[in-house]
C-alpha cells in the first residue's frame, strides 16, 4: 500500500495536557532527527502556546523542519535507521 511506519521520539505536550512552560522545554530540547508529536487542537489548554514557543526556539537555533513523507529513509547522521 506504500505506507511507511513512523514513530516519535519527543512527546511535546503530553496530549495537550501539559502546561505551556513544560511543553516549550520538551520541544526546545529536541535534537537533530527527533520526531515531535504534539496536540495543539485544544484551544482551552495552555500547551499550544508552549509548543509554538518551543518550535520558534528550535528555528532560532537553525533547525529546519520536514514532513515525514519528505524525510529520507535512512539518515546520514545515525539519527534515523
Give the pLDDT confidence of 41-65 residue by residue, as tens digits. Answer: 888 899 999 999 999 999 999 998 8
Kindly state whether residue 33 falls inside one of the protein's structural domains: yes
Determine the structural domain holding residue 53 and report its residue range.
10-70
Kindly state whether residue 79 falls inside one of the protein's structural domains: no
Kindly state whether residue 29 falls inside one of the protein's structural domains: yes
Kindly state whether residue 15 falls inside one of the protein's structural domains: yes
Kindly state whether residue 65 falls inside one of the protein's structural domains: yes
| pLDDT above 70 (res 76) | no
Q: In Å, how far are 16, 33, 56, 72, 81 from 77, measured between CA atoms?
A: 31, 8, 23, 12, 10
Kindly state whether residue 35 falls inside one of the protein's structural domains: yes
Total of domains in the chain: 1
Kindly state whether residue 18 falls inside one of the protein's structural domains: yes
- pTM reported for the whole predicted model: 0.77
Rounded to whole angstroms, the Cα distance separating 45 from 16 reads 6
Give the pLDDT confidence of 18-39 residue by residue, as tens digits. Answer: 999 999 999 999 998 899 999 8
Confidence of residue 81 (pLDDT cuts 50, 70, 90): very low
Amino acid at each position: 500500500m506504500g505506507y511507511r511506519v513512523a514513530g516519535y521520539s519527543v512527546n511535546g505536550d503530553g496530549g495537550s495536557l501539559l502546561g505551556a512552560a513544560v511543553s516549550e522545554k520538551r520541544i526546545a530540547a529536541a535534537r537533530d532527527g527527533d520526531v515531535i508529536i504534539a496536540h495543539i487542537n485544544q484551544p482551552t489548554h495552555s500547551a499550544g502556546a508552549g509548543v509554538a514557543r518551543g518550535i520558534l526556539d528550535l528555528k532560532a537555533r537553525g533547525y529546519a523542519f520536514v514532513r515525514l513523507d519528505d524525510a529520507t529513509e535512512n539518515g546520514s547522521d545515525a539519527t534515523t535507521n
